[in-house]
Structure 1
């Protein structure tokens, strides 16, 4: 039975990976300090009383101790939304630097393979479109978003250094915008914000004129790509994301239509360094992993909407 540690395992993506790896026969150690994650995301695994799942509350910027053998370390600990990393800038930098260092040290000591969760944000506000893995990016290192962008760029650099210098087996996934059940309703990203506002009948907040683009990947597709990468021989970064590009304004309109909401759209000033385009070049994933997304955005949004309807009902005030 493979034994796997997932840092950030109680987060949106980490919890889905817990589910997938348990389904694949792994023993899973879920580690999280709950700064942005929640045990609600893995409560169903507690309820099963499955001996193959264990939750460990721990901040991975401190030394990580795990007794026994480990086969895999999936390093997903980090604030990931602009709202979170702008609120937690120092913690974001620390988990990208110190946390990645501690996770790599553990993988080295255990002889485990480490998979790093990186991000499309390493490309910054890209001057190349769509973005291939060999594009070096256009990042403002001292801008507000730099705390996340540069934390992930450093994490990639130290991961490659451990691979080259210490011969640690490593994999790097560059994750593009992902959505699905278990996203926090106060996440701050476009989808949870739009869905929450639409379900409450509030105006949807679009920044700038809404012409900036994003490409949204359903979480099941992302997890499949990550799992294939984990087991592959590819040791350099791989983009995993959906290539169906859409403007933010069109996306807001799509959410209004899907929720059958009477909400309108309001516009606010575009945040500094907000990327104008975002679409992955997934040629490498197709060729090396045999992976490409299969869930149509509309179908994925319907599944996500069911989750948000329940979450909004639970969190809505009594007189709503």
Structure 2
């Protein structure tokens, strides 16, 4: 199935300046949001307790806040959870007294608010939260380094650096939107970002592979034309793959509920941004980094000559002529 005409070459490189300007504005805006508003870390990373409560009727959020005043939980955050009958009560710090069951205390405090059931209590200590946050950052950093090494070996170092620039572009803008919409940052979100790293780099590798193939099968010297042709040939595949994935993600976003909302939201915005960057952002940086078609073809020709020479020497060795 083709969305775009494969016989037509679109001038992506000719439009690189406005698209890079748009990305620059989005990155600056995202950094400003991250520096001013920051990220809304969930209990996975800062430590604390989340109590999930389900009422038989619509949850009286104002009443819950009122009865919590004057208790050790008066600074809790009470928010609707998925439906109007369910709420979450969040407070920093976990119970330091293991004999003091949070469930029992909450059951007593919330008696005036109506008929309810405490469905779940999650606790994470501050030390564990800090450790999880550090490991999450390490996992993301290691993923980026692994991608850098892989692409540098498979293609050429300029392809690798351009691809990592694209990934950093995607991650920063995604985090900026997460900050803007005050989405809780938890382990599920880290998993979503790592998933995006793999997803978007796959799109980038497809384009890079096409550029390499075009370099090997044509004698075209103009890098802009080579990139335009390669991106145009893979455009239908890229867009179809993204739309197919987005269909599933949107379904999760709408029907998955609050439990996977952060995960679904991160995937949703990340796939859109990742598809955009693989088409409009990564390829221009290959040129900006000084990629030379003649030098690349000479290097590949030398590799092929060395490969044939090794094969010749091995054949001579096996025949006893060396």
- What TM-score do the two structures reach when normalised by structure 2? 0.27
Larger gyration radius, structure 1 or structure 2: 2
Give the structure, 1 or 2, with the largest relative contact order (CA under 8 Å, sep 6 or more).
2
Higher-helix-fraction structure: 2
The structure with more strand, counted as a fraction of residues: 1
Q: TM-score, normalised by structure 1?
A: 0.27
